[in-house]
Amino acid sequence: MPKLPLPLPAEQPVAVNALRNKRAEIAGQIAMYEREVERLRADLVHVDATLRLFDPGTDPADIVALRRFPRRTEYFARGEVTRMVYDALRATPEIRAQDLADAAMLAKGLPDTDRAQRREFVNRFLNVMGDMKRRGNLVKIGHGPGVRFKLAPREADLGV
């Protein structure tokens, strides 16, 4: 089946023209990022080869990739989310990220109808509480949307 030529932009509705432009923009970004990924993979191959020269016993595949940290937002100062978690744990033995997000939105004067902002706040609290759990400061209770956290038990000081 032969391809029909696309109509000229002047002959199309505004919405179709806008969608074509948006698609072209996204396709260009994908191509740019694919080139960047290829460049990074080539760099990784060179680093792995150099690593093997200096330490032939090392398997580069065993080296865990560093995680990217979530971007900072203008809503929270450095350490503020952690302080809010500890403050909430002083008031109640178990907390949920959703409850902390609701309290934070109220404290920041944001409307509780802003679902996207609430989702971002919930994710921010879940990330921080997950980090606190990995450090041994919190214990996770349950899984899924209703997950709660509590303070990790501390060993008694037996130093005599």
Task: Please tell me the predicted confidence (pLDDT) of residue 66.
Answer: 82
Rounded to whole angstroms, what are the CA distances from 88 to 42, 48, 64? 47, 46, 34
Collapsing DSSP to helix, strand or coil, 157 comes out as coil
pLDDT at residue number 121: 92
pLDDT at 75: 84
**What pLDDT is stored for residue 71 in this prediction?**
65
Query: What pLDDT sits at residue 50?
Result: 94
* Cα–Cα distance for residue pair 133/110, rounded to 1 Å: 28
pTM above 0.75, yes or no: no
- Fold that domain 80-151 belongs to in CATH: Arc Repressor Mutant, subunit A (1.10.10)
Strand 148-151 to strand 94-96: parallel, antiparallel, or no bridges (unpaired)? antiparallel
- What was the pLDDT predicted at 160? 53
| Residue ranges in the chain modelled with pLDDT below 70 | 1-11, 68-72, 156-160
Residue among 152, 153, 122 at smallest CA distance from 134: 152
What whole-number distance in Å separates Cα of residue 35 and Cα of residue 40?
Answer: 9
Domain regions of the chain by residue span: 12-62, 80-151
